[in-house]
Structure 1
Amino acid sequence: MRRNGPDGVEALPHVPVAVPGAPPACRSRLVETARLQWRLGDDGDPTDLAQRFLTAHGVDVDDLSRPGRHTADGPCGAALFLSAAAGAYAVGAPTGAPTPVPALPDLVVVVYHHGDRPHRPPPPAGWRLGDWRDSWTPDAHAAAVESVRAAIARGDVYQVNLVGHAAADYTGDPRPALRRLAALPGARYGGALTGPGWALGCASPETLVATEHGRLVTRPIKGTRAATAAGRRDLLASAKERAEHIMIVDLERNDLARVARTGSVRVDELFAVRRWCDLWQAESTVSAAPADGLGLADLLRAVCPGGSVTGAPKHAALAQVAAREPVGRGAGMGALGWVGPDRLDLGLTIRTAAADAHRLHLWAGGGITWDSDPAAEVAEAAAKAAPIRALLAAG
C-alpha cells in the first residue's frame, strides 16, 4: 500500500484532470493532494481502505444517503479505480489469473483540491504502436465458450462473461493516445488516469453505479449488434440477447437491494438500444434509494465486480472465469470514475486500455449463455476491441 504526501505532489505535471466524472468546470484547475495505491497481496480490504482514506482527506463517504456539498475551499473530490480482481477479493470470490500489468495497482484513490491557475495539456510527443498479440487464439476462445456452455448444461451457472486480452509494444508517450479514447462516440466514461509507471484510458459507455437525484443507479449493458438498421432490428428481435440481458438486470436488482431501502428497487428502463461507435448495445436502468448509513465500502462490495462482466450467479460465474481466462483482467472490467462530496459516478471499465513501461494492454469479451454460438462470440469480442485498437494506433 502506498500513500503520496504533499511533498511528492509538487513534482507531478500540472495537466488538466481527465478522470471520467470529474466536474468539467474544475478539471483545468485541480491539484492532486493525496494518493492511495493498493495491490493484491497488500494488507486490508481495498473497499474499506478507500472509504477511510477518502473520509480522512475531506471527502466524506460514510453515509451516501446524506450527500455533502461541493465547495471551492474544500476537496473537489477524488478519482477512484478498483480492479475487477480487487472487487472479487473484497467479496471472497476467485480473483482470476495474474494481471498482465503488474505495474498497475488494483486500487487507486487520488484526492484533488482546487488550484489557483489553469493547467494546460503537454505538447504532443512521438508515438508508435506495434502489432497486437492476443493472449488466446480464436480457437482457444471458442473452446472456452463451449466449456462454459457445458457448465451451463450441468447447472453450475446460468451465464458467464468471458474476456480476452491483447498486448502491443509501443514507443513514445502513451498518455495522449489513452486520453483520446474519451472522444469515441458513446464513451460516457471517457477519460484517463495515470500514475508512476502506468496509465489507463477508458471509453466505456456503461454506468457501474452512480448517485442521481438521491438514488443509486446502475445501467447494465448486454446485447450487441453492428450499428446498421438490420443490426438494430436483429438485436430487438433476439430472444437470446433479451434473455441474457434480463438475467443481468435481475442480478443488478439483487445487488442494489442489498444496500437499498426496502422496496425501493425499480427498473426505470428495460432493453433500450443505444449506440457505441459502430455497435448497437442494449442497456437498462436500475435504481434504488440508498439505505440510511450506507458507506462507500458496502456499496462497492455490493456492485463489484459488475454483474454484466461476471455472469450469474456472480460467485459461480467468477469461478468459471478464473478457471478459463488465461490472463488476468488488469484494468478491464473494474470501476473507474469520480467520488465527490456531493455525488458518486463510477463507470465499468469495458473498452479500456492500460499501459506499463513498454506495452499497451486491451481487454474485450462478452456474455455466454446456453444459446451462444462460439464463432459469433469471438467475432463480437473483436468488434468491441476494433475501435479502441484503431484509435490507439493513430499518430
Structure 2
Amino acid sequence: MTIPRALLEFGDPHHSGQPATKLAFGEPQQVLVAHTLDEVRPVLEQVDALSREGLWCVGYVRYEAAPAFDAALQVHAAEGPLVWFGVHAQPLADADVALPTAPEPHVQWTPRISREAFDANMARIHAAIAAGDFYQLNYTAQLKAPFASVEGSAMAYFAALRRSQPRGYGAFIDTGEEQVLSVSPELFFDWDGTRILGRPMKGTAARGANPQEDAANAERLRSTPKEQAENVMIVDLIRNDLSRVAEPFSVKVPRLFHLEALPTVWQMTSDVVATTRDGTRLWDVFEALFPCGSVTGAPKVQAMCQIKALEPDARGVYCGAVGVVKPGGHATFNVPIRTVTLRDGTARCGIGSGITFDAQAEGEWQEWRSKRMFLERASQPFEVLETLALRDGVFQHLPLHLQRMAQAAAHFGYSWSEAVAREALAALAQTRPAGAWRVRLLLQPSGRCTAEAFALLESPQPVRLQLADQPMADAQGEFVRFKTTRRAHYDAFTPLDPAVFDTVLFNSAGEVTECTRGNIAIKLGGRWVTPPLACGLLPGIGRQVWLAEGRFVEQVVYTDQLAEAQGVAFINSLRGWLDAELV
C-alpha cells in the first residue's frame, strides 16, 4: 500500500454527466522543477513532451512565473519553485492507495490586513480606475496560520477542505518541501490539443439563510449590472488571450452569466471556447493565458503592476495554475483560488475579489468574509448535533430531528444514514427505559453516529432571560442556521449569573433572533410571535411544531419592543414551553 504524493478530483469541465475524475499518484519517477524564469519554458516543454510519450504529469505553476511568459508582467520574488511537476507512469489503483488517518487539525487563521488598510487600498484602486490606469483589478490578501505537519495531517486537512468545498477541481500535491491543498471551483483551461475551454469565475454573492433568500441572492447576482460588467470585462480579456493561439474566428462565448451554487457562495461563470491552431503546444497556451485574467484584472499588464504595489506578499501557487497533463497531452488546470499551501510550518491562503469603479468597500469586505467560510468550516473540526428528549423510553419529535440532521449533513457534505442514526439511538434507549433524559446525537463526517444521555432536570418557571449586551456578529452564518458542536458564537453570550437561564440574542439590525439554547416567543399586541428565520436563527424543532399548530406566528421583533412584551417564553423541543421573564 502506498501513501499518495498527489490526489486529483477534477469535475468534468464539459458537464457531460460523467463523474469527477479521481486519481492518486505515488512517488514520481521524475520531478521537473523551474527555480528561475529562464527554466520555466524548458520545464513546460518537457511536460508536454513526456505526456505525449504516454506519461502523466501532475503539478503547478506559481503566479510569480508570469514574467517568463511576458516580461512586462510585474510580480514579487517567488517563495518556492516557479514550476513543479511530478512525472508518473500511471495512477495508483484504488487497492494500492493507503490514506493516512490523522485527525483533522485545528487551524487558527489570522488575516494580514486590517479593515482600515483594506479601505485605504480600495480608495487607491478607485483612484487608479478613475485615472484610466485599468478598469478592473483583482485585489487579494493573505491569511496565515501555524500548521504542525505530522504524518497525515496535510492530507487530513485536504479532506476537511474538500468537504467544505466539494465539486470543482480539487488537488493535493506533496512535493516534499511544501504541500498544495487546492479545492478550487474555477477552471483555468481544459485543452485536448485541439479544443480549448476557459471558464473565468467573476461575480459572487453569499448563500441565503433560507431557500427564499438564497434564490433572491442568486437572482440579484445574475441581474446586477456591476456583477455582469465585472464578468464581461474578464470574458473579453480571456477572448483576447485565447485569440493568440486560436484559429481565426473560432473564439466563441457559448455560455454567459451562468450561476454555480457552492456551499457558502454563489459564483458567476462564463464559458469561452476556441479551436487552437495546428502546432500549438502547452507552452503556447500558458504564454497566451497565464495568469488567468480573473485573478489579475484588465488590462492585465497594468493590473498586475498595481497588484504588486498593493499586495506586500508573493501570491505563490494561489492564483497560479494547478493541474494535470494526461498521456497524449490533454491538459486540465484549475485557477487555484480556495487554495492552502503548507510550507515551513506555516499555512497560507489568499482571499480576494474583483474591484470595479462602482465596487463598495463594505460590499467587497463582506464578499471576502463569505469566501473565507470554506476555511472556517474546515479549520475547526465539528460534528453535526441534535439534542432531543427521551422520556420513558420514547424520543420526542424523533422524525423531525432526524430530518433536520439529514439537512445539515447534506449542507456540510457529511455522510448520512438514517438507519445508522436510529441504531445509535435505539441502543441508548435500551439503557434508559425510564425517566427523562437529554440525549445528544452526534454525526461525524464519516457518517458514524454516537449518542449520549444526561439526566434532564425540570426547570422552575418562570425562567429568567437577559438581553445580550451586543449583537451577534454573524447571525446569518451557517453555524447558526445548522446545529453543530461549533458553539463559540453562542458560548460568548452564556450568562455569568447562575440565576439567569439564558441570553436573548439580536442581530446587527436590532432584530431579536433567539436564545443560545433555544428559540423565543414573545407576546405583543395580544398575540404570540416568534422571529422569522431570515433574522438569523436556528430552525428549532419546538418552534416548527408550534408554528404548525398556530400557537404563534412569525414576526420581526426589535429589541426596543421587548419593553412592551405582555409575555415571553423560552422554547425548544427538549424542555418544551417555559414561561420566562426578562431581567
1:390 Cα deviation after fit? 2.2
Matching residue of 2:46: 53
Matching residue of 1:82: 61
Q: Trace 1:106-117 onto structure 2 (pairs within 5 A).
A: 106-114=82-90
Matching residue of 2:176: 196
1:281 aligns with 2:270: no
1:123 Cα deviation after fit? 2.9
Task: Measure, in 2, the Cα distance between the counterparts of 1:361 and 1:297.
Answer: 28
Q: Secondary structure at the match of 2:261?
A: strand
Matching residue of 1:9: none
Contact map agreement 1:16 1:119 (CA 8 A) in 2: no
1:93 Cα deviation after fit? 3.4
Matching residue of 2:255: 269
1:254 aligns with 2:232: no
1:333 Cα deviation after fit? 0.5
Q: Secondary structure at the match of 2:217?
A: helix
Task: Measure, in 1, the Cα distance between the counterparts of 2:92 and 2:351.
Answer: 40
Higher relative contact order (CA 8 A, sep 6+): 1
Q: Secondary structure at the match of 2:98?
A: coil
Matching residue of 1:211: 191
Matching residue of 2:522: none
1:18 Cα deviation after fit? 0.6
Contact map agreement 2:59 2:173 (CA 8 A) in 1: no
1:125 aligns with 2:102: yes
Task: Measure, in 1, the Cα distance between the counterparts of 2:6 and 2:352.
Answer: 29
Could you tell me which of 151, 154, 167 is aligned with 1:187? 167
Contact map agreement 2:161 2:374 (CA 8 A) in 1: no
Q: Secondary structure at the match of 1:80?
A: strand
Task: Measure, in 2, the Cα distance between the counterparts of 1:372 and 1:22.
Answer: 32
Could you tell me which of 218, 221, 240 is aligned with 1:235? 221
Q: Trace 1:62-77 onto structure 2 (pairs within 5 A).
A: 74-75=54-55, 77=56
Q: Letter of the 1:79 partner, please give it.
A: V
- Residue 159 and residue 25 in structure 1: after superposition, are their counterparts in 2 closer, same or farther (change >3 A)? closer
Q: Secondary structure at the match of 1:27?
A: strand
**TM-score (normalizing by structure 2):** 0.59
Q: Letter of the 2:349 partner, please give it.
A: L
| Unaligned segments of structure 2, at least 5 residues | 13-19, 208-213, 383-583
1:174 Cα deviation after fit? 2.2
1:142 aligns with 2:119: yes
1:105 Cα deviation after fit? 2.1
1:89 Cα deviation after fit? 4.0
1:229 Cα deviation after fit? 1.4
1:33-71: per-residue Cα shift (whole Å, max 9, x none)? 1111223xx25141x123332245x313xxxxxxx8xxx
Matching residue of 1:27: 23
**TM-score (normalizing by structure 1):** 0.85
Q: Letter of the 2:229 partner, please give it.
A: A
Q: Secondary structure at the match of 2:101?
A: coil
Q: Secondary structure at the match of 2:38?
A: coil
1:16 Cα deviation after fit? 7.0
Task: Measure, in 1, the Cα distance between the counterparts of 2:30 and 2:87.
Answer: 5
Q: CA RMSD in A?
A: 2.5
Matching residue of 1:158: 135
- Residue 190 and residue 370 in structure 1: after superposition, are their counterparts in 2 closer, same or farther (change >3 A)? same
1:116 Cα deviation after fit? 7.8
Q: Letter of the 2:124 partner, please give it.
A: S
1:140-172: per-residue Cα shift (whole Å, max 9, x none)? 122111111100000011100001101011223
Matching residue of 2:340: 353
1:98 Cα deviation after fit? 4.3
Matching residue of 2:279: 293
Contact map agreement 2:180 2:339 (CA 8 A) in 1: yes
- Residue 17 and residue 193 in structure 1: after superposition, are their counterparts in 2 closer, same or farther (change >3 A)? closer
1:365 aligns with 2:352: yes
Contact map agreement 2:37 2:67 (CA 8 A) in 1: no
Task: Measure, in 2, the Cα distance between the counterparts of 1:273 and 1:26.
Answer: 25
Overall identity of the aligned pairs, in %: 28
Matching residue of 2:426: none
1:19 Cα deviation after fit? 2.9
Contact map agreement 1:244 1:369 (CA 8 A) in 2: yes
1:218 Cα deviation after fit? 0.1
Contact map agreement 2:171 2:322 (CA 8 A) in 1: no
1:134 Cα deviation after fit? 1.6
Matching residue of 2:367: 380
Could you tell me which of 301, 308, 331 is aligned with 2:294? 308
Task: Measure, in 1, the Cα distance between the counterparts of 2:48 and 2:125.
Answer: 42
Contact map agreement 1:135 1:326 (CA 8 A) in 2: no
Matching residue of 2:200: 220
Contact map agreement 2:11 2:167 (CA 8 A) in 1: no
Q: Letter of the 2:133 partner, please give it.
A: D
Contact map agreement 1:135 1:166 (CA 8 A) in 2: yes
Q: Letter of the 1:18 partner, please give it.
A: L
- Residue 43 and residue 362 in structure 1: after superposition, are their counterparts in 2 closer, same or farther (change >3 A)? closer
Query: Between Structure 1 and Structure 2, whose CA radius of gyration is higher?
Result: 2
Task: Measure, in 2, the Cα distance between the counterparts of 1:231 and 1:26.
Answer: 32
Task: Measure, in 1, the Cα distance between the counterparts of 2:288 and 2:298.
Answer: 14
1:178 Cα deviation after fit? 2.1
1:162-204: per-residue Cα shift (whole Å, max 9, x none)? 0110101122332321244333445311121111221011111
Q: Letter of the 2:247 partner, please give it.
A: R
